[in-house]
Amino acid sequence: MQPAPASSRARRVARRTRESCAAVLANTLCSLLLALLLVAGVALFVVWLSLRPHRPRFNLAAFSIAPGGQQVAFNISDRNPNHHIGIYYDATQASVHFYDALVASGPAFSSSWYQPNMTTIFIAGRLDVVGPRTTDASWPSFDAALHSGRLPLRLQLTTAIRFRLSAFHSGRQRMHVNCDVLLSADGNLLPESVGAACDRYF
């Protein structure tokens, strides 16, 4: 068998060398691309962790039924814990319930408002009492709980919020805030309820 000409062997060596260089280059480019994607992913994750919006925090500051039982007064602290994000609120409606029975309702804020980052404001209001009446099925248990000195009520705020970061605004999110209230026989808030955290539902 005749040995392959030197020129043919040289072409094969050159071809293998080019293929090897192309493979090395492709592997290097793939490794660089993967490294860049990994770094970008980690950077985006860190930015997201630092800028993602945190929900506002609510605590019950005060609550009472006025003498005569015609109105309830409440005061709730609202904390925006975000370092860079403000919160827009729509008009806010308030209601008070004794289990499923409506006690009082009305507006807490009748117009929209804005809360800057890292601030605490107080949402205060007075609501007209609408029940329960002496003819309602819930009246006996309501009256008994009031005279026992531990009347359980639920204060609910309903609104919608948007988060603001610089010129960016998020979409509206419907929010419900529920605060559990315990009143003494004189209609004032029991000490164990002062400062209690309220639940938030979106």
Q: What are the residue ranges in the chain where pLDDT is below 50?
A: 43, 45-49
Q: What is the pLDDT of residue 36?
A: 78
Helix (H) or strand (E) holding 59: strand 57-65
Q: What is the pLDDT of residue 48?
A: 46
**Dihedral, 49, 178, 80, 122 alpha carbons, nearest 10:** 180
Measured on CA atoms in the order 191, 192, 197, 202, is the torsion positive or negative?
Answer: negative
Q: What is the pLDDT of residue 17?
A: 64
| Residue 83: DSSP 8-state | S
Distance between the two ends of the chain, CA-based, in angstroms?
84
pTM: 0.73
Say how far apart CA 51 and CA 39 lie, in whole Å.
18
- Residue-wise pLDDT for 63-80, tens only, equals 999 888 899 999 999 999
